[in-house]
Structure 1
Amino acid sequence: MSQTHWTVLGAGSLGCLWAGYLNQAGFPVTLLHREGVAAPESLNLTRFQAEQATAFEARLTTASACPEKSISRLVVATKAHDALNAVAGIKHALTDNACIVLLQNGMGSQQAVAEQYPEFAIIAVCITDGAYRTGPGHVIHAGQGVSRVGALNKAGQKVWRQVVEDLEQTDLIIEACEDINQALWNKLAINIAINGLTALDQCLNGELMQPERYQRVSLLCQETEAVMKGLKLQLPEQGLLQLATDVIEGTAKNRSSMLQDTLRGKITEIDYINGYLVQQAERLNIEVPESLSIYRDVKQRFNQPSS
């Protein structure tokens, strides 16, 4: 049984998913829940294609209750807009050689953490698993995906392979990724094509195949390709539109994460998806009117805070 102690910050669907798989692989786990919210009374993970929920163990506490210099391996499983503040709130508990593993969707939040905390090993994970909570501490692993793991800074380069080896002991599908920036962009491109549109039209992924919506998907993919080319990133051989189409058709009955956020009245991750593309496009002097339109419409319609 491995003795590396993992601390997971965020008891939402991804946090519980990772805490569950880490614990079931033999790692001791501490799960940090939100301040002012009661700790889950029980912890359960229903694995992909399994009917039976199995209990997992984790010490439940909050960031402020963690002792000084007590955390050497931290997983940040918050939403993108909470990540930087979440790390600031737990910094007192990080050891001098701590490793921070970031699970955020979109782009921008990971880079902000790496820039703010260069003294720590910063690892980013690009995740395609599907998971949702049925209640506090109870998570369903609904779709088997891949977790691509790579270093975001020099300190991270020294330890990321050890992190990969540890994660490979779990039943998550783990892939060592030399170029995590490329992997994050590949996923970002799909999110740009799907999330904002499904939120604005309050529709399932598959409904984006309707002609008028699909035309907008096509424009979004064209704009993203232009920015990726400007950044000297690789494009998929089949092109982004075909890749996005495959995902739309393969997840036709799914609600995107951004649609779910709007239905719950929560802050979306639009700043870290279409907003990130707009930011990079401005830096490169590339016009992205479709992404800019969707970015502004989501911000206005759902009363999203200023970035």
Structure 2
Amino acid sequence: MTKANLNWVVLGPGAIGGLIAGALLEHGQSVSLLPRKSEPREINWQVRHKQFKADYSAPVITQPLAENTVFVIAVKAFDLIEALQGITTLQGFNKTMPVVISHNGLVELPEPLKELNLHPLVTTHGAVISRNENGKRRIEHRGAGRSWLEVGPQGRVQPTNFAPGLILQQAFSPLTLEEDLSQRRWLKFVINCVINPLTAVHQCANGELLKKNWQAQVYSLVTEAVAVANSQNVSLTTEGCYKEVLLVARETALNHSSMLQDVKQQRRTEIQQLTGYLISAGKTAGVATPTHQQLLDEFQRSYSD
């Protein structure tokens, strides 16, 4: 077992961050938390899996940061830039520190943030965070999934030499280390651009999209999204992505998408980082996306962020 001497700093923790922080603690790693708001010196949370529940606690970070710090930032896409800017202001931060980032949607980062040692994480785990009557964080692990971590940045580091990746591979399994996740990130992006807005607009569970009457619209959404991906030199196929959309809808048939949950809780959604980003990228590349534009218009008529 890899026992590198690393200091893990997890933002939040939110739903996915709480899962990862708990898993790291289970594997004997040193974990501290970077809260978004003022918190006590120690944060407690509970993770509820299907067959058991586990309680965790970790201290709030102290500054200056240790030189061997690794960050885990799992956030909504619209919070990513602010979160990254926030960690750069911490005492002792330097841009060689690995930063694992996980979010839906696609985000164009400002140039200074592109220079950070970023390692995108794609995960299919399903988790929902809430607070119990005592205000304690409670994370429901509703769907055990798979994860992929980019070991780069830009493939400059071999997987076998990236200690944080090897530890995450053991703690947060199953996890695959890859040199470049651009294709996998786009595949997840396409899936999210179909399932999230459709289920949010029509207030339905993911499995509803498997019905025959949805297939023409689903296929059209996939076709347009793949065309935009191809314009970005990402090699995806319509048939392959369509099958993946249906597979995810089947695997998460009873689940409500994160966007539908946000709508129900009257929280800000990631519609602009999903459908909005896709439409904008399509316009820049000269790729028409009328089905996505129609869906965005329908969403905006129904809800206002």
Q: Which runs of 5+ in 1 are unaligned?
A: none
1:228 maps to a residue whose letter is A
Supply the distance in 1 between the matched residues of 2:119 and 2:172 (Cα, whole angstroms): 20
Cross-structure match for 1:200: 201
**What are the equivalent positions in structure 2 for 1:1-307 lying under 5 Å apart?**
1-36=3-38, 42-47=44-49, 49=50, 51-60=51-60, 66-70=62-66, 72-93=69-90, 94-108=93-107, 111-112=108-109, 115-135=111-131, 136-151=136-151, 153=153, 157-158=156-157, 161-236=162-237, 238-304=239-305
The Cα offsets for residues 14-47 of structure 1, whole Å up to 9 and x where unpaired, read as 1111110111111111122221567886322334
- Identity rate of aligned residues, in percent? 28
Supply the distance in 2 between the matched residues of 1:176 and 1:9 (Cα, whole angstroms): 22
Contact 2:4 2:163 in 1 (8 A): no
SS for the counterpart of 1:132 is strand
Q: Using a 3 Å threshold, how does the CA distance of structure 1 residues 117 and 232 change in structure 2: closer, same or farther?
A: closer
Q: CA deviation at 1:228?
A: 2.2
Contact 1:188 1:273 in 2 (8 A): yes
Supply the distance in 2 between the matched residues of 1:225 and 1:11 (Cα, whole angstroms): 33
The Cα offsets for residues 51-73 of structure 1, whole Å up to 9 and x where unpaired, read as 22222231135xxxx52444721
SS for the counterpart of 1:232 is coil
SS for the counterpart of 1:267 is coil
Contact 1:76 1:101 in 2 (8 A): yes
Normalised by the length of structure 1, the TM-score is: 0.86
The Cα offsets for residues 202-236 of structure 1, whole Å up to 9 and x where unpaired, read as 11111123444332211101111222222232225
SS for the counterpart of 1:43 is strand
CA RMSD of aligned residues (A): 2.4
SS for the counterpart of 2:57 is coil
Supply the distance in 1 between the matched residues of 2:41 and 2:275 (Cα, whole angstroms): 34
Q: Which runs of 5+ in 2 are unaligned?
A: none
1:97 maps to a residue whose letter is T
Supply the distance in 2 between the matched residues of 1:69 and 1:96 (Cα, whole angstroms): 12
Normalised by the length of structure 2, the TM-score is: 0.87
Aligned residues: 294
